Structure 1
């Protein structure tokens, strides 16, 4: 897996979350909170994955 692939997966997840939020504008507070938490997890995981990929590429 290359860095472009990891970036693409992360970008796709974030775009999907944003699209989902636009389709359901009348969410209650609890649902919005869950989405924000999931967004933070995805961003964190994506950043960690990109950093790991970068480290692997630099080691070679």
Structure 2
């Protein structure tokens, strides 16, 4: 269980850094690229939420 906590903590830290870098880079990109990034990030958030739910179901 301790290992899972470290994994989740590492993922959260990576997400924070990724968002921070994205916020710095995104304004310099054209609209089409920004739209593609937003769409992809929405899909990834949904996939991550599904994976999280599956992990919780597996644990319980």
What's the TM-score once normalised by structure 1's chain length? 0.67
Equivalents in 2 of 1:7, 1:46: separation in Å? Answer: 14
Cα drift, residue 20 of structure 1: 2.9
Partner of 2:44: 42
Structure 1 residue 55 corresponds to structure 2 residue 57:
yes
Looking at both structures, which has the greater relative contact order when contacts are Cα pairs under 8 Å and sequence separation is at least 6? 1
SS at match of 2:28: coil
Cα deviations across residues 27-51 of structure 1 (Å, max 9, x unaligned)?
1110000000111011011101100
RMSD of the TM alignment (CA)?
Answer: 2.5
Equivalents in 2 of 1:37, 1:45: separation in Å? Answer: 12
Partner of 2:25: 23
